[in-house]
Amino acid sequence: MLAATPDQLQHIGALAAALVNPGDRVGLGSGRAALAFVRALGKRVREENLRITSVSTSLLTEKVAVEAGITLSSLMQVDQLDIAVDGADEVDPDLNLIKGGGGNLTREKVVESIAKKLVIVVGQEKIVEHLGTYFPVSVEVIEFALPVVIRRIQAMGGIVEQRKNADGSIFLTDNNNPYLHVRFGPPPHHLANPAELDRVLRLIPGVVETGLFVGMASEAIVAQFDGTVRILKKI
């Protein structure tokens, strides 16, 4: 599958950074495209003396933001954001998302739930007709509840795999929780009703959060394969 190049991600990251206004409270997303945005925003902070308040969605993003010259605040200090910018694993025509490939879905959803505007930066390869086409649904789970959650999801028809690191060790989120990757049905793994699936999964005791971000994104800045940029906006 074709993928956006680093230069393309840098370009759309800069376009997203240009949307930030002086005095804005900004959510900083995770993943390659989101980190390109963070670096571009840091450049504005340094060169324009742009004054903003920002909250990070991951420990890695915190590190990159500090290196870029961005001062970070916490959710204790910020109760609402003017804009958040993040990446996604899949984006459907209604701007519903599958997220979580970077392992930070809960922190991302918490931060982005208080944003007035959520802008997604992605390559064209992330645009799909139906969620679940290429990526599984990530589910963050309390470790104690892992067997219960797995059995419940399997009873729903889900094919469950626990996420592991490249060395075979168990992957843990920044919250120190394990992660499940879930697919439903035979290929192609289209999700018929992402909103209902998100609701049902979150009702399982022990589930912290899912990677289904339904009705949250306002627009997407898409790096096309031909080098152009396409803007998708919520109707």
Amino acid identity, position 132: G
- The Cα 42–Cα 63 span in angstroms is 12
In this structure, are residues 141 and 178 in contact, taking their beta carbons and an 8 Å threshold?
yes
Q: How many residues does the chain have?
A: 235
- The Cα 105–Cα 101 span in angstroms is 8
DSSP string, 141-206: E-GGGHHHHHHHHHHTTEEEEE-B-TTSPBPB-TTS-BEEEEEESSSS---S-HHHHHHHHHTSTT
Q: Tell me if residue 48 is catalytic.
A: no
* Sign for the pseudo-dihedral over CA of 189, 192, 198, 203: negative
- The Cα 127–Cα 95 span in angstroms is 9
Sheet with 90-91: list strands edge to edge: 90-91, 97-98, 212-213
Amino acid identity, position 190: H
- The Cα 54–Cα 210 span in angstroms is 24
Q: Which one from 90, 108, 112, 209 is the annotated catalytic residue?
A: 108
Helix/strand/coil for 105: helix
Residues serving a catalytic function are 108
